[in-house]
Structure 1
């Protein structure tokens, strides 16, 4: 299996605090790779580095065979790297459909004058964006809510809305930052099945930062464990669950 992303010896400091120290991380093409660890381990910082929101102080990143170490976020997004956030990033006063249509605009656009003059090209593109947004909503199961205002959705549905918008951007690599936060057990189970369907149906790769261990162990192909900014374990779910360092540092059971 080919690697879609390689993070080599990545280090990040915030003042005198070492948030990440010489982190080496690979994500396989077509795989679901989870990053776990206790609060403050550096998981979200790693996602910020991967997406370009935080610049590493050392190390480099290879994405799809290209060095993106200094590429800004919009360039990485243009290469198919799409991210969701732990705190919902939706437009509350817009409709569900309009929220998802925004996800299409990064890759489908025409000059401003075409839109102002309502040229055939702009009209056709608007129709395409609407159709693709509806397809994304259908995929996550909330197409019936397309005309609803986003703020009126239940929290679990808002999570699905954010996922639909990310899907509409046609990602090659999907970065999910605690997508199960705030969901109940049934919603989390549905989310896990949905992430797998998204991966399988779209031939994309997923990097998942998540605290829900049932979700992580149930859908991940590989797991990396961080503790205080250092990699302490990596492997399959079965391998990581048996690692004494993980048990001691993360799962809350002391070593003998």
Structure 2
């Protein structure tokens, strides 16, 4: 879906939701923000810096970190090793350091391990850190993906349908976890999600996309009452 004149602003320290019907352009917008898709016009900014022509890897270095709709974990690696891959975002050793196992290599690996263990504790997976990732149930693998993203120490965390496939209990736990990410870790969150109950419960602000264009932005209670949003996304039965 092509985007047209989209103004998507995420205030630092908030949880901002991006909603809309299937095919509205939500994931495309996250791809533009994270650098996976280049925008033809307009700008992408982070904390006052123009990131429009900055490649995806450099945006990640600057703190733009995301998860994806489809679960992406390394199933043959342990839970801890998966999260350590996120912590390796800014290691201070090169290929030769890893090859020859220099003192810097061991120092950085200890730092990455400690950071990974801290994030596993945060999401409630510390006890399962030694298990291969494939042994975790689907809902726990979703938490693993989130822990890995947190280990990259984001400035802004982009979540693409994090509740997909979760049951009610898991979704309720996820809501509390996302709020803790904002409140305890001081991480700004932008979330794409179809679970409207989750969105209305945790979001500080909501932007609605329809056919690649923003049709509404505001507080959750304002979005719930917006006739254009109801017609485009929530459905007539939501009146």
Shorter-chain TM range is over 0.9
Who is 1:43 aligned against? 26
TM-score by length of 1: 0.91
Match of 1:210 in 2: 193
* CA–CA distance in structure 1, aligned partners of residues 59 and 69 of structure 2: 20
Higher helix fraction: Structure 1 or Structure 2?
Answer: 2
> In the alignment, what sits opposite 2:52?
69
Q: Which residue of 2 aligns with 1:3?
A: none
Q: Which residue of structure 1 aligns with residue 14 of structure 2?
A: 31
What corresponds to 1:192 in structure 2? 175
Question: Do the aligned partners of 1:80 and 1:172 also contact (CA within 8 Å) in 2?
Answer: yes
CA contact (8 A) 1:248 1:255 kept: no
Equivalent residue, structure 2, for 1:155 = 138
CA distance in 1, matches of 2:14, 2:112: 28
Other structure's SS at 2:214 match: strand
1:59 equivalent among 42, 48, 55: 42
How many correspondences in the alignment? Answer: 239
**Corresponding residue number in structure 2 for 1:168:** 151
The structure that is strand-richer by fraction is 1
Work out which structure has the larger RCO, using CA pairs closer than 8 Å and 6 or more positions apart in sequence: 2
Give runs of aligned pairs for residues 35-184 of structure 1, distance below 5 A. 35-184=18-167
- Tell whether the 8 Å contact from 1:101 to 1:130 is kept in structure 2 after alignment: yes
The alignment's TM-score, normalised by the length of structure 2, stands at 0.97
Of stretches 111-120 and 200-209 in structure 1, the one that deviates more from structure 2 is 111-120
**Contact 2:24/2:211 (CA < 8 Å) preserved in 1?**
yes
**Could you list the runs of 5+ residues in structure 1 that have no partner in the other structure?**
1-17
RMSD: 1.4
Report the CA distance shift for 1:255/1:93 in structure 2 as closer, same or farther (over 3 A): closer
8 Å CA contact retained: 1:52, 1:72: yes
Q: In structure 1, how many angstroms separate the alpha carbons of the residues matched to 2:58 and 2:196?
A: 33
